[in-house]
Amino acid sequence: MKRVIYPGMFDPVTNGHIDVVKRAMELFDEVIVTVGRNPAKVGLFSTEERVEMLRESLKDFENVRVDSFDGLMVDHARELGAIGIIRGLRAITDFEYEFQMALMNRKLSNDIKTIFLMPHEKYTYLNSTIIRNLAMFGADVSKFVPPFVEQKLKEKYPKQYGLEQ
């Protein structure tokens, strides 16, 4: 079985992330989408909330599961029996950082490969930071995130969406 992990912060998960998962599903037997815990970053959503949003957003995907991890990606991949780490590349600006990470991961574990996948071009501008910023101002994010994630964003910013009592 060819298993890969798709790690990220997913704060929140976007349709671009979902698109990368779909592409990975076509290539591998199992895709484990895994939320990284980064003590240096304070997210809008807790790790548990991000896992919940991913599980709901991916519930109809047969060969996908969701989990979370602390520590190094390569160690987590090895623990799960994964052959590789999926990384999404949207634009050239992503490449330099992702290339450095891939080379470091190779040094740490030569048996875990990094696989770069590009989302559909309609998602190349999309990232979680943009979504958080749009939601903070009450903008319509329905075209950019799954419905469950949209609802969770509205719960975080009820005043901006006219939901505050």
Place of tokens 């548990």: 48
Beta bridge partners of 34: 7, 67
Write down the catalytic residue from 76, 128, 132, 152.
128
Write down the catalytic residue from 22, 55, 78, 90.
90
Write down the catalytic residue from 41, 107, 143, 159.
41
**3-class SS string, 76-96:** HHHHCCCCEEEEECCCHHHHH
- 37 assigned to active site: no
Sequence letter at residue 14: T
Residue ranges of E strands in 13-165: 30-36, 64-69, 84-88, 113-117
Sequence letter at residue 102: A
- 41 assigned to active site: yes
- 128 assigned to active site: yes
156 and 44 Cβ atoms separated by less than 8 Å = yes
Q: Looking at the annotation, which residues are catalytic? A: 17, 41, 90, 128
